[in-house]
A = this chain, B = another copy of it.
Protein backbone atom coordinates (compact mmCIF):
# COMPACT_ATOMS: atom_id res chain seq x y z
CA UNK A 1 0.00 0.00 0.00
CA UNK A 2 1.50 3.32 -0.88
CA UNK A 3 -0.83 6.02 0.34
CA UNK A 4 1.70 8.28 2.02
CA UNK A 5 -0.73 9.37 4.74
CA UNK A 6 -2.84 7.47 7.26
CA UNK A 7 -6.62 7.51 7.04
CA UNK A 8 -7.13 10.49 9.35
CA UNK A 9 -4.51 12.56 7.59
CA UNK A 10 -6.04 11.58 4.25
CA UNK A 11 -9.50 12.60 5.41
CA UNK A 12 -8.37 16.02 6.58
CA UNK A 13 -6.33 16.43 3.39
CA UNK A 14 -9.48 15.75 1.35
CA UNK A 15 -11.46 18.21 3.45
CA UNK A 16 -8.99 21.04 3.93
CA UNK A 17 -6.11 21.01 1.41
CA UNK A 18 -6.28 23.48 -1.51
CA UNK A 19 -8.58 21.95 -4.11
CA UNK A 20 -5.98 21.96 -6.89
CA UNK A 21 -3.72 19.84 -4.68
CA UNK A 22 -6.55 17.43 -3.94
CA UNK A 23 -7.41 17.11 -7.63
CA UNK A 24 -3.77 16.50 -8.53
CA UNK A 25 -3.33 13.91 -5.76
CA UNK A 26 -6.43 11.85 -6.48
CA UNK A 27 -5.51 11.49 -10.13
CA UNK A 28 -3.44 8.52 -9.08
CA UNK A 29 -5.63 7.21 -6.28
CA UNK A 30 -8.06 4.35 -6.72
CA UNK A 31 -11.67 5.47 -6.04
CA UNK A 32 -12.10 2.57 -3.62
CA UNK A 33 -9.59 4.22 -1.26
CA UNK A 34 -11.79 7.32 -1.09
CA UNK A 35 -14.84 5.08 -0.64
CA UNK A 36 -13.14 3.64 2.48
CA UNK A 37 -12.76 7.16 3.90
CA UNK A 38 -16.34 8.08 3.03
CA UNK A 39 -17.69 4.91 4.68
CA UNK A 40 -15.92 5.69 7.94
CA UNK A 41 -16.93 9.35 7.98
CA UNK A 42 -20.60 9.37 7.04
CA UNK A 43 -21.06 12.87 8.52
CA UNK A 44 -18.50 14.40 6.20
CA UNK A 45 -19.60 12.53 3.10
CA UNK A 46 -21.04 15.60 1.33
CA UNK A 47 -18.13 17.83 2.22
CA UNK A 48 -15.58 15.30 1.00
CA UNK A 49 -17.33 14.36 -2.22
CA UNK A 50 -18.24 17.90 -3.21
CA UNK A 51 -14.55 18.69 -3.59
CA UNK A 52 -14.02 15.90 -6.10
CA UNK A 53 -14.63 15.96 -9.86
CA UNK A 54 -17.78 14.32 -11.18
CA UNK A 55 -16.08 11.52 -13.10
CA UNK A 56 -14.21 10.55 -9.95
CA UNK A 57 -17.46 10.48 -7.93
CA UNK A 58 -18.87 8.23 -10.63
CA UNK A 59 -15.84 5.99 -10.06
CA UNK A 60 -16.54 5.87 -6.32
CA UNK A 61 -20.18 4.99 -6.95
CA UNK A 62 -19.04 2.26 -9.36
CA UNK A 63 -17.02 0.72 -6.51
CA UNK A 64 -19.76 1.02 -3.86
CA UNK A 65 -22.09 -1.80 -2.84
CA UNK A 66 -25.38 -1.60 -4.70
CA UNK A 67 -27.25 -0.25 -1.64
CA UNK A 68 -24.65 2.46 -1.06
CA UNK A 69 -24.77 3.76 -4.62
CA UNK A 70 -28.10 5.53 -4.22
CA UNK A 71 -27.15 6.94 -0.82
CA UNK A 72 -24.04 8.53 -2.30
CA UNK A 73 -25.74 9.75 -5.47
CA UNK A 74 -28.52 11.51 -3.60
CA UNK A 75 -25.98 13.62 -1.68
CA UNK A 76 -25.91 15.92 -4.69
CA UNK A 77 -28.16 18.44 -6.43
CA UNK A 78 -30.32 17.19 -9.30
CA UNK A 79 -28.04 18.87 -11.76
CA UNK A 80 -24.88 17.37 -10.38
CA UNK A 81 -26.56 13.95 -10.17
CA UNK A 82 -27.21 14.23 -13.87
CA UNK A 83 -23.53 14.87 -14.62
CA UNK A 84 -22.41 12.02 -12.36
CA UNK A 85 -24.85 9.56 -13.91
CA UNK A 86 -23.45 10.43 -17.32
CA UNK A 87 -20.00 9.35 -16.15
CA UNK A 88 -21.12 6.06 -14.61
CA UNK A 89 -20.55 2.81 -16.48
CA UNK A 90 -23.64 1.15 -17.90
CA UNK A 91 -23.37 -2.06 -15.86
CA UNK A 92 -23.06 -0.24 -12.52
CA UNK A 93 -25.89 2.12 -13.44
CA UNK A 94 -28.08 -0.86 -14.27
CA UNK A 95 -27.29 -2.44 -10.90
CA UNK A 96 -28.28 0.79 -9.18
CA UNK A 97 -31.54 1.20 -11.10
CA UNK A 98 -32.37 -2.45 -10.49
CA UNK A 99 -32.79 -1.91 -6.73
CA UNK A 100 -34.66 1.40 -6.89
CA UNK A 101 -38.43 1.78 -6.98
CA UNK A 102 -39.96 2.98 -10.24
CA UNK A 103 -40.24 6.62 -9.25
CA UNK A 104 -36.62 6.88 -8.16
CA UNK A 105 -35.45 4.98 -11.25
CA UNK A 106 -37.42 7.22 -13.59
CA UNK A 107 -35.90 10.30 -11.97
CA UNK A 108 -32.43 8.99 -12.77
CA UNK A 109 -33.39 7.86 -16.26
CA UNK A 110 -34.71 11.37 -16.88
CA UNK A 111 -31.20 12.68 -16.21
CA UNK A 112 -29.81 10.72 -19.15
CA UNK A 113 -29.76 11.43 -22.85
CA UNK A 114 -32.47 9.53 -24.76
CA UNK A 115 -29.81 7.32 -26.26
CA UNK A 116 -28.21 6.43 -22.92
CA UNK A 117 -31.58 5.87 -21.28
CA UNK A 118 -32.58 3.46 -24.04
CA UNK A 119 -29.35 1.55 -23.59
CA UNK A 120 -29.83 1.24 -19.84
CA UNK A 121 -33.51 0.27 -20.23
CA UNK A 122 -32.41 -2.55 -22.51
CA UNK A 123 -29.81 -3.69 -19.97
CA UNK A 124 -32.50 -3.59 -17.28
CA UNK A 125 -34.66 -5.91 -19.36
CA UNK A 126 -32.11 -8.75 -19.00
CA UNK A 127 -32.18 -11.13 -16.04
CA UNK A 128 -29.60 -9.64 -13.63
CA UNK A 129 -28.12 -13.08 -12.90
CA UNK A 130 -27.17 -13.74 -16.53
CA UNK A 131 -24.21 -12.70 -18.66
CA UNK A 132 -26.31 -9.96 -20.24
CA UNK A 133 -27.30 -8.74 -16.78
CA UNK A 134 -23.69 -8.24 -15.70
CA UNK A 135 -22.07 -7.09 -18.94
CA UNK A 136 -21.01 -3.52 -19.68
CA UNK A 137 -21.80 -2.02 -23.04
CA UNK A 138 -18.65 0.11 -23.16
CA UNK A 139 -16.03 -1.67 -25.23
CA UNK A 140 -13.73 -1.09 -28.18
CA UNK A 141 -14.74 -2.67 -31.46
CA UNK A 142 -12.57 -2.49 -34.55
CA UNK A 143 -12.64 -3.68 -38.15
CA UNK A 144 -10.39 -6.20 -39.87
CA UNK A 145 -9.01 -3.81 -42.48
CA UNK A 146 -7.45 -1.41 -39.95
CA UNK A 147 -3.67 -1.44 -39.34
CA UNK A 148 -2.01 -1.63 -35.93
CA UNK A 149 -1.04 2.03 -36.17
CA UNK A 150 -4.56 3.14 -37.15
CA UNK A 151 -5.92 1.15 -34.25
CA UNK A 152 -3.45 2.71 -31.80
CA UNK A 153 -4.43 6.19 -33.00
CA UNK A 154 -8.11 5.25 -32.72
CA UNK A 155 -7.49 4.18 -29.13
CA UNK A 156 -5.67 7.43 -28.37
CA UNK A 157 -8.78 9.31 -29.48
CA UNK A 158 -11.55 7.19 -28.03
CA UNK A 159 -10.40 4.86 -25.29
CA UNK A 160 -9.81 7.34 -22.47
CA UNK A 161 -13.27 6.86 -20.95
CA UNK A 162 -13.53 3.13 -21.41
CA UNK A 163 -12.60 1.21 -18.32
CA UNK A 164 -11.15 -1.91 -19.87
CA UNK A 165 -9.56 -2.03 -23.29
CA UNK A 166 -7.33 -5.07 -22.93
CA UNK A 167 -9.25 -6.94 -25.57
CA UNK A 168 -10.35 -5.27 -28.78
CA UNK A 169 -13.24 -7.01 -30.46
CA UNK A 170 -13.28 -7.28 -34.22
CA UNK A 171 -16.76 -7.06 -35.75
CA UNK A 172 -18.09 -7.07 -39.30
CA UNK A 173 -20.56 -4.60 -40.76
CA UNK A 174 -23.49 -6.44 -39.19
CA UNK A 175 -21.99 -6.24 -35.66
CA UNK A 176 -21.17 -9.94 -35.78
CA UNK A 177 -18.16 -10.95 -33.72
CA UNK A 178 -15.28 -12.06 -35.98
CA UNK A 179 -12.53 -12.39 -33.40
CA UNK A 180 -10.38 -10.65 -30.86
CA UNK A 181 -7.09 -8.77 -30.81
CA UNK A 182 -5.58 -8.35 -27.39
CA UNK A 183 -3.90 -5.09 -26.55
CA UNK A 184 -0.76 -7.16 -26.12
CA UNK A 185 -1.00 -8.45 -29.71
CA UNK A 186 -1.49 -4.88 -30.80
CA UNK A 187 1.58 -3.49 -29.09
CA UNK A 188 3.87 -6.41 -29.91
CA UNK A 189 3.16 -6.27 -33.65
CA UNK A 190 4.61 -3.84 -36.16
CA UNK A 191 2.69 -0.64 -36.85
CA UNK A 192 1.86 -1.61 -40.43
CA UNK A 193 0.43 -5.07 -39.63
CA UNK A 194 -3.25 -5.48 -40.52
CA UNK A 195 -5.79 -6.46 -37.90
CA UNK A 196 -6.84 -9.31 -40.22
CA UNK A 197 -3.28 -10.67 -39.92
CA UNK A 198 -3.18 -10.68 -36.12
CA UNK A 199 -6.82 -11.45 -35.31
CA UNK A 200 -7.60 -14.49 -33.20
CA UNK A 201 -10.78 -15.84 -34.80
CA UNK A 202 -11.32 -18.53 -32.15
CA UNK A 203 -12.60 -16.10 -29.55
CA UNK A 204 -14.45 -17.72 -26.67
CA UNK A 205 -17.73 -15.84 -26.38
CA UNK A 206 -20.49 -16.02 -23.79
CA UNK A 207 -24.14 -16.51 -24.83
CA UNK A 208 -26.13 -13.63 -23.33
CA UNK A 209 -28.46 -15.88 -21.31
CA UNK A 210 -25.67 -17.86 -19.56
CA UNK A 211 -25.97 -17.90 -15.74
CA UNK A 212 -23.48 -15.61 -14.02
CA UNK A 213 -21.98 -18.41 -11.94
CA UNK A 214 -21.20 -20.35 -15.10
CA UNK A 215 -19.66 -17.18 -16.53
CA UNK A 216 -17.45 -17.15 -13.45
CA UNK A 217 -16.31 -20.73 -14.12
CA UNK A 218 -15.41 -19.82 -17.71
CA UNK A 219 -13.21 -17.00 -16.44
CA UNK A 220 -11.61 -19.33 -13.88
CA UNK A 221 -10.96 -21.89 -16.59
CA UNK A 222 -9.46 -19.61 -19.22
CA UNK A 223 -7.95 -16.87 -17.08
CA UNK A 224 -9.16 -14.21 -19.51
CA UNK A 225 -9.48 -10.59 -18.43
CA UNK A 226 -12.53 -9.80 -20.53
CA UNK A 227 -14.94 -11.95 -22.49
CA UNK A 228 -17.47 -10.85 -25.11
CA UNK A 229 -21.20 -11.46 -24.70
CA UNK A 230 -23.14 -12.28 -27.87
CA UNK A 231 -26.77 -12.84 -28.82
CA UNK A 232 -28.13 -15.82 -30.73
CA UNK A 233 -26.94 -14.31 -34.01
CA UNK A 234 -23.38 -13.93 -32.68
CA UNK A 235 -23.79 -10.15 -32.55
CA UNK A 236 -21.59 -8.48 -29.95
CA UNK A 237 -23.74 -7.04 -27.13
CA UNK A 238 -21.20 -6.20 -24.45
CA UNK A 239 -18.26 -7.40 -22.41
CA UNK A 240 -17.80 -8.94 -18.97
CA UNK A 241 -14.59 -8.07 -17.11
CA UNK A 242 -12.75 -10.23 -14.62
CA UNK A 243 -13.09 -7.81 -11.68
CA UNK A 244 -16.90 -7.98 -11.87
CA UNK A 245 -16.64 -11.75 -12.05
CA UNK A 246 -14.46 -11.92 -8.94
CA UNK A 247 -17.11 -10.08 -6.98
CA UNK A 248 -19.81 -12.40 -8.31
CA UNK A 249 -17.83 -15.50 -7.40
CA UNK A 250 -17.15 -14.11 -3.92
CA UNK A 251 -20.83 -13.38 -3.40
CA UNK A 252 -21.84 -16.83 -4.71
CA UNK A 253 -19.36 -18.44 -2.33
CA UNK A 254 -20.63 -16.42 0.61
CA UNK A 255 -24.17 -17.37 -0.38
CA UNK A 256 -23.28 -21.08 -0.47
CA UNK A 257 -21.47 -20.96 2.88
CA UNK A 258 -24.32 -19.02 4.50
CA UNK A 259 -26.97 -21.34 3.08
CA UNK A 260 -25.08 -24.43 4.22
CA UNK A 261 -24.89 -22.86 7.68
CA UNK A 262 -28.60 -22.03 7.74
CA UNK A 263 -28.54 -18.23 7.58
CA UNK A 264 -30.12 -15.97 4.97
CA UNK A 265 -27.94 -14.90 2.01
CA UNK A 266 -27.92 -11.25 2.88
CA UNK A 267 -26.97 -11.39 6.56
CA UNK A 268 -24.03 -9.11 7.27
CA UNK A 269 -21.69 -8.77 10.23
CA UNK A 270 -22.47 -5.06 10.16
CA UNK A 271 -26.26 -5.56 10.25
CA UNK A 272 -28.55 -4.99 13.23
CA UNK A 273 -29.71 -7.58 15.78
CA UNK A 274 -33.23 -7.62 14.37
CA UNK A 275 -31.94 -8.14 10.81
CA UNK A 276 -30.03 -11.18 12.05
CA UNK A 277 -33.06 -12.48 13.94
CA UNK A 278 -35.12 -12.14 10.76
CA UNK A 279 -32.38 -13.99 8.85
CA UNK A 280 -32.14 -16.86 11.30
CA UNK A 281 -35.47 -17.38 13.08
CA UNK A 282 -37.37 -18.81 10.07
CA UNK A 283 -34.64 -21.39 9.62
CA UNK A 284 -34.63 -22.24 13.33
CA UNK A 285 -38.38 -22.79 13.18
CA UNK A 286 -37.99 -25.13 10.20
CA UNK A 287 -35.38 -26.98 12.24
CA UNK A 288 -37.70 -27.06 15.24
CA UNK A 289 -40.38 -28.77 13.17
CA UNK A 290 -37.90 -31.35 11.90
CA UNK A 291 -36.47 -31.85 15.41
CA UNK A 292 -40.01 -32.50 16.64
CA UNK A 293 -40.36 -35.11 13.90
CA UNK A 294 -37.20 -36.85 15.15
CA UNK A 295 -38.43 -36.54 18.74
CA UNK A 296 -41.75 -38.11 17.89
CA UNK A 297 -39.85 -41.18 16.67
CA UNK A 298 -38.22 -41.34 20.10
CA UNK A 299 -41.65 -40.80 21.69
CA UNK A 300 -42.89 -43.99 19.99
CA UNK A 301 -40.31 -45.95 21.94
CA UNK A 302 -40.79 -44.43 25.42
CA UNK A 303 -41.90 -47.84 26.65
CA UNK A 304 -38.61 -49.41 25.63
CA UNK A 305 -36.55 -46.53 27.04
CA UNK A 306 -38.40 -46.87 30.35
CA UNK A 307 -37.15 -50.47 30.54
CA UNK A 308 -33.60 -49.77 29.24
CA UNK A 309 -32.77 -46.21 30.23
CA UNK A 310 -29.20 -46.42 28.81
CA UNK A 311 -30.77 -46.22 25.36
CA UNK A 312 -31.35 -42.50 26.13
CA UNK A 313 -27.68 -42.11 27.01
CA UNK A 314 -26.57 -43.46 23.62
CA UNK A 315 -29.12 -41.50 21.56
CA UNK A 316 -26.91 -38.38 21.14
CA UNK A 317 -24.16 -40.57 19.67
CA UNK A 318 -26.51 -42.12 17.11
CA UNK A 319 -27.90 -38.80 15.94
CA UNK A 320 -24.58 -36.98 16.15
CA UNK A 321 -22.64 -39.48 14.05
CA UNK A 322 -25.36 -39.79 11.43
CA UNK A 323 -25.59 -36.02 11.15
CA UNK A 324 -21.84 -35.65 10.77
CA UNK A 325 -21.45 -38.38 8.17
CA UNK A 326 -24.36 -36.93 6.17
CA UNK A 327 -22.94 -33.41 6.40
CA UNK A 328 -19.55 -34.61 5.13
CA UNK A 329 -21.08 -36.16 2.04
CA UNK A 330 -23.38 -33.26 1.32
CA UNK A 331 -20.49 -30.79 1.68
CA UNK A 332 -18.50 -32.64 -0.96
CA UNK A 333 -21.53 -32.96 -3.25
CA UNK A 334 -22.77 -29.36 -2.88
CA UNK A 335 -19.29 -27.95 -3.54
CA UNK A 336 -18.76 -30.40 -6.40
CA UNK A 337 -22.03 -29.23 -7.98
CA UNK A 338 -21.05 -25.57 -7.53
CA UNK A 339 -17.67 -26.14 -9.21
CA UNK A 340 -19.16 -28.29 -11.97
CA UNK A 341 -17.12 -31.35 -10.92
CA UNK A 342 -20.15 -33.61 -10.59
CA UNK A 343 -21.84 -34.49 -13.85
CA UNK A 344 -24.08 -37.14 -15.33
CA UNK A 345 -20.96 -38.96 -16.39
CA UNK A 346 -19.62 -39.67 -12.92
CA UNK A 347 -22.81 -39.56 -10.84
CA UNK A 348 -23.24 -43.35 -10.61
CA UNK A 349 -19.61 -43.91 -9.68
CA UNK A 350 -19.89 -41.29 -6.91
CA UNK A 351 -23.07 -42.93 -5.53
CA UNK A 352 -21.35 -46.30 -5.20
CA UNK A 353 -18.34 -44.56 -3.69
CA UNK A 354 -20.52 -42.90 -1.04
CA UNK A 355 -22.20 -46.25 -0.31
CA UNK A 356 -18.76 -47.74 0.21
CA UNK A 357 -17.63 -44.88 2.43
CA UNK A 358 -20.81 -45.23 4.50
CA UNK A 359 -20.22 -48.94 4.96
CA UNK A 360 -16.51 -48.68 5.81
CA UNK A 361 -16.75 -45.70 8.19
CA UNK A 362 -19.97 -47.16 9.64
CA UNK A 363 -18.23 -50.45 10.33
CA UNK A 364 -15.27 -48.68 11.97
CA UNK A 365 -17.40 -46.44 14.18
CA UNK A 366 -19.89 -49.30 14.74
CA UNK A 367 -17.21 -51.60 16.16
CA UNK A 368 -15.91 -48.92 18.54
CA UNK A 369 -19.40 -48.02 19.75
CA UNK A 370 -20.36 -51.71 20.15
CA UNK A 371 -17.50 -52.21 22.54
CA UNK A 372 -18.37 -49.06 24.45
CA UNK A 373 -22.03 -50.05 24.61
CA UNK A 374 -21.14 -53.48 25.91
CA UNK A 375 -18.82 -52.00 28.56
CA UNK A 376 -21.40 -49.41 29.67
CA UNK A 377 -24.40 -51.71 29.89
CA UNK A 378 -22.51 -55.00 30.55
CA UNK A 379 -24.81 -56.58 27.99
CA UNK A 380 -23.63 -58.08 24.69
CA UNK A 381 -26.97 -57.59 22.94
CA UNK A 382 -26.85 -53.87 23.77
CA UNK A 383 -23.42 -53.67 22.09
CA UNK A 384 -24.63 -55.52 19.00
CA UNK A 385 -27.78 -53.38 18.72
CA UNK A 386 -25.93 -50.04 18.88
CA UNK A 387 -23.23 -51.34 16.51
CA UNK A 388 -25.66 -52.51 13.82
CA UNK A 389 -27.75 -49.35 14.20
CA UNK A 390 -24.61 -47.28 13.68
CA UNK A 391 -23.58 -49.08 10.47
CA UNK A 392 -27.10 -48.77 9.02
CA UNK A 393 -27.30 -45.12 10.10
CA UNK A 394 -23.98 -44.18 8.50
CA UNK A 395 -24.88 -45.86 5.20
CA UNK A 396 -28.21 -44.00 5.17
CA UNK A 397 -26.34 -40.79 6.03
CA UNK A 398 -23.87 -40.94 3.13
CA UNK A 399 -26.51 -41.99 0.62
CA UNK A 400 -28.89 -39.26 1.82
CA UNK A 401 -26.08 -36.70 1.79
CA UNK A 402 -25.50 -37.68 -1.83
CA UNK A 403 -29.10 -37.90 -3.05
CA UNK A 404 -30.68 -34.85 -1.46
CA UNK A 405 -28.48 -32.17 -3.07
CA UNK A 406 -28.97 -33.86 -6.45
CA UNK A 407 -32.74 -34.06 -6.03
CA UNK A 408 -32.88 -30.39 -4.99
CA UNK A 409 -30.76 -29.43 -7.99
CA UNK A 410 -33.12 -31.40 -10.24
CA UNK A 411 -36.04 -29.44 -8.71
CA UNK A 412 -34.16 -26.19 -9.45
CA UNK A 413 -33.67 -25.47 -5.74
CA UNK A 414 -30.15 -24.41 -4.73
CA UNK A 415 -28.67 -27.56 -3.12
CA UNK A 416 -26.82 -25.40 -0.60
CA UNK A 417 -30.08 -23.94 0.65
CA UNK A 418 -31.98 -26.84 2.11
CA UNK A 419 -29.76 -29.91 1.98
CA UNK A 420 -28.52 -29.74 5.56
CA UNK A 421 -31.96 -29.69 7.16
CA UNK A 422 -33.25 -32.58 5.05
CA UNK A 423 -30.15 -34.67 5.58
CA UNK A 424 -29.99 -34.25 9.36
CA UNK A 425 -33.72 -34.83 9.76
CA UNK A 426 -33.53 -37.98 7.67
CA UNK A 427 -30.50 -39.31 9.54
CA UNK A 428 -32.05 -38.49 12.93
CA UNK A 429 -35.32 -40.22 12.08
CA UNK A 430 -33.62 -43.27 10.55
CA UNK A 431 -30.97 -43.42 13.26
CA UNK A 432 -33.54 -43.47 16.08
CA UNK A 433 -35.73 -45.94 14.17
CA UNK A 434 -32.81 -48.35 13.70
CA UNK A 435 -31.47 -47.99 17.22
CA UNK A 436 -34.69 -47.92 19.24
CA UNK A 437 -36.47 -50.27 16.82
CA UNK A 438 -33.77 -52.93 17.14
CA UNK A 439 -33.72 -52.40 20.90
CA UNK A 440 -37.49 -52.97 21.05
CA UNK A 441 -37.18 -56.16 18.98
CA UNK A 442 -34.55 -57.54 21.33
CA UNK A 443 -35.78 -55.88 24.52
CA UNK A 444 -36.05 -59.16 26.41
CA UNK A 445 -32.26 -59.66 26.04
CA UNK A 446 -31.57 -56.09 27.18
CA UNK A 447 -33.29 -55.94 30.55
Contact = CB atoms under 8 A, between A and B. Distances in A.
A276 B317 contact: no
Given A273-B360, A316-B291, A328 B283 contact: yes
Interface stretch (A15-23, A77-85, A117-125, A180-188): A180-188
Contacts of A292: 317, 372
Interface in A244-260: 245-247, 249-250, 253-254, 256-258, 260
Contact of A284 (B205, B250, B324): B324
A368 to B, nearest CB: 7
Contacts of A331: 257-258, 260-263
A222 B34 CA distance: 12
A6 interface: no
Contact of A328 (B156, B280, B428): B280
Interface string A184-210: 101111100000000011111100000
Contact of A315 (B29, B221, B312): B312
- Stoichiometry, as copies per complex, reads 2
Contacts of A324: 262, 283-284, 287
Interface in A282-309: 283-285, 287-288, 290-292, 294-296, 298-299, 302, 305-306, 309
A341 interface: yes
A261 B357 CA distance: 16
A32 B222 contact: yes
Interface in A327-364: 327-328, 330-336, 339, 341-342, 346, 350, 353, 356-357, 360-361, 364
Interface pairs A-B: 9 shortest CB-CB: A261-B331, A223-B243, A312-B312, A291-B320, A28-B202, A269-B336, A273-B356, A299-B313, A28-B200
Given A250-B339, A277-B361, A306-B309, 20 more contacts: A155-B187, A155-B188, A156-B190, A183-B183, A183-B187, A220-B247, A225-B225, A246-B246, A246-B249, A249-B250, A262-B327, A281-B361, A284-B325, A285-B365, A302-B312, A302-B313, A305-B305, A311-B312, A312-B312, A316-B432
Interface of A: 1-3, 27-30, 32, 152, 155-156, 159-160, 165-166, 179, 183-184, 186-190, 200-205, 219-225, 242-243, 245-247, 249-250, 253-254, 256-258, 260-263, 267-270, 272-273, 276-277, 280-281, 283-285, 287-288, 290-292, 294-296, 298-299, 302, 305-306, 309-317, 319-321, 324-325, 327-328, 330-336, 339, 341-342, 346, 350, 353, 356-357, 360-361, 364-365, 368-369, 372, 376, 424, 428, 432
